[in-house]
Amino acid sequence: MIRTKLVSLVFFIVTASISAQKKQISLEEIWTGAFRTQGMSSLHSMNNGQQYSVLNRNRKDNTSTIDIYDYKTLTKVSTLVNSATIKDIQNFSSYTFSADESKVILATNIQPVFRRSRLGKYYVYDTKTNGLTLISENLIQEPTLSSDGTKVAYGFNNNLYVKEFKTGKTTQITFDGEKNKIINGITDWVYEEEFAFVRAFEWNAADNKIAFLRFDETKVPEFSMDVYGQALYQKQQVFKYPKAGEANSVVSLHIYDLATNTTKAVQLKKTYKDFYIPRIKWTNKPNVLSAQYMNRHQNELDLWMIDANTNTATLALAEKDKAYIDITSNLTFLKDHSFIWTSEKDGYNHIYHYKDDGTLINQITKGAWEVTNYYGYDNKTNKIYYQSVENGSINRDVYAVQLNGKKKTRLTKADGTNNAAFSADFTYFINTFSSATTAPKYTLNASNNGKVIKHIIDNTKVLNKLNAYAISKKEFSTLNVNGHELNMWMIKPANFDPNKTYPLFMYQYSGPGSQQVANRWNGANDYWYQHLAQKGYVIACVDGRGTGFKGADFKKITQKELGKYEVEDQIEAAKTLGKLSFIDASRIGIWGWSYGGFMSSNALFKGDGVFSMAIAVAPVTSWRFYDSIYTERYMTTPQENPSGYDDNSPINHVDKLKGDYLLIHGTADDNVHVQNTMRMVEALIQADKQFEWMLYPDKNHGIFGGNTRLHLYKKMTNFIDQKLGDKI
């Protein structure tokens, strides 16, 4: 059953008369940025805790500045760096301070590699002398300053280097780096994508040692993509990509000593086979490194404390889970060398406090709700700051709690999504708030009680502009499906008439731990849904089993069966919504991107006519085609779980296709390879099933650039109009 607030017929009559006088959102307006909101770029809290810096870019003269602002007054105090006054730099796209803020790295000529990795020319700006130093003539990766700003380490051609600014000397640390064979200090493709980091090296607190990961990709199978470009002959991009069940990189941990110019491999008491090292982090002790080791199934995680002087290691913490363990960056070391850790071990993600030897001091947060972000610990007040869904799984609020778990305080008051950026001394935080009806607002808040001190950005220009358009309310509710109350949102036409029937267009993603039904500002896609609603469609999204923020059992029910329970929930949700008096059950469509494309394909094929059409963008069509870390986390290997892979992959259910199907992919998708679509196309052809498809040349998983997004959304809109909108 649907549980939502009833709205009187009078409201609909009034709305209909008003909406008839308002403008309609066009696709061109959406994708040319007419409704783009303003934000704060590259926000950094200065060490004094009273000021912050932001990156401001002047598009008229193509210059960049790092400007310093006062928290209390929000007025600009100074311009720290201005590219217009620097001889060698016209502009820069990002900046990074050294820990002591004496130096700042400026990024120029940035060239993307994969989702997170970049090559670029980087300069170091001395904030005291205004001097500028080019780190290297080469395009390098991940330059990172020592805490005192006297040295910088970086990656180049799969090797690590250190440059000293005083002497100008550059020392090469590793020598065996080779493309598609050995990588030092930079992650391989699958670590970057699934463990979400690129820089795989860390300075210690004394700046005299560097810990780094080494990846031996020699036995990892290669994948190739044709890149067509404008040349007469296409180029081929070849890279190592371990698909599910295939060989991974052999990873090892090493520590380089700057004083002796020597490197040692870390030795552990435990022997690991086929494992991951998803995180390394130096503790507050200059010679003690923490490292997290995880088995290939990702259901066992060990936290080791490694003495770099003696090359000995102590196991501080060992966690096991019946399904899998999520990796985070929440590990925090306190002055007494105890540490803060987050875990789902009681069934919900919560914060824990441990001694340095792994002895549990206390569980700091508790309850049938999830901690969704950990912001940090203030040693002056003994407070921990975090974000959670205590106020409902579709909302996010910022909280403070004592280290002992007492005196918890909700610091944000408005229902929606709140996210904090704290000052270095935890005196203030800049809160970003948005909801389904409120564009992002930035406010300065006091950390002790959450009180709003000043408003920074409110995006009223966007809201005022939208007031001239026929905008429908996004209604949140729950839907009882397969014995579970599932979160749902629905958008109806602004001139909605409960006595009419409308086609239903459903959106979902449904990947493990994900969430699409959230009380937040969603930007472009929501504008598109408004565009569809003004045409006469009802749009809905249901987060089924396997999605996040309702506890581990709800999230991990899909283990070893990706695409089973999630698809069952989407099909049943469509049936339930189809029984509503204002929904035409013969015209229900569904769409999704990536995992969502996998889902929409399965829903159409397995739905036995429940859906009359589906759009799948960049879909996984068989989990055998996807990468090892992601897929095996939820499915183990195809050798161990062949039925889990094959029974739930849409490529094996093409014979069941009823209705209209649009398949879309970018040919340069390094993440979900176009192989997925090519194999799906062949399967559909051999099953004698008619369908439509579209390839975007040289576009990656995001399918963007130039006019591409507008073309894509026009393509999808036209397909929806042809297949669902014929009776509107």
Residues 632/296, Cβ–Cβ less than 8 Å: yes
Q: Which helix (H) or strand (E) holds 605?
A: helix 595-606
Judged by DSSP in three states, 421 sits in strand
Cα–Cα distance, 648 to 562 (Å, whole number): 7
Output helix, strand, coil percentages for the chain, rounded to the nearest 5.
15, 35, 45
Nearest to 98 by CA among 55, 153, 56: 153
Cα–Cα distance, 313 to 269 (Å, whole number): 7
* Straight-line distance from the first to the last Cα atom of the chain, in angstroms, rounded to the nearest whole number: 26
Whether 669 sits among the annotated catalytic residues: the reply is yes
Cα-Cα-Cα-Cα dihedral of 375, 517, 38, 124, to 10°?
Answer: 40
Return the CA Rg of the chain: 27
For the record, the structure tokens of 391 come out as 């106020």
Catalytic residue among 356, 543, 669, 670: 669
- In the sheet that 44-45 helps form, which strands lie side by side, from edge to edge? 44-45, 51-58, 63-70, 76-82
Cα–Cα distance, 703 to 699 (Å, whole number): 5
CA 206 to chain centre: 32
> Cβ atoms within 10 A of the Cβ of 581, count?
8
Catalytic residue among 594, 600, 622, 628: 594
Judged by DSSP in three states, 405 sits in coil
For the record, the structure tokens of 117 come out as 């990795």
Instruction: List Cβ neighbours of 295 (8 Å cut-off, separation of 6 or more).
Output: 272, 274, 275, 276
Cα–Cα distance, 58 to 613 (Å, whole number): 45
Q: Is 10 exposed, middle or buried (0-12, 13-18, 19+ CB in 10 A)?
A: exposed
Residues 186/174, Cβ–Cβ less than 8 Å: no
Whether 514 sits among the annotated catalytic residues: the reply is no
Cα-Cα-Cα-Cα dihedral of 600, 603, 609, 615, to 10°?
Answer: 10
Catalytic residue among 254, 350, 665, 701: 701
Q: How many helices (H) and strands (E) does the chain have?
A: 12, 44
Judged by DSSP in three states, 533 sits in helix
Whether 472 sits among the annotated catalytic residues: the reply is no
Nearest to 689 by CA among 634, 651, 635, 639: 651
Nearest to 57 by CA among 89, 96, 81, 93: 93
Note the residue count of the chain: 728
Catalytic residues: 594, 669, 701
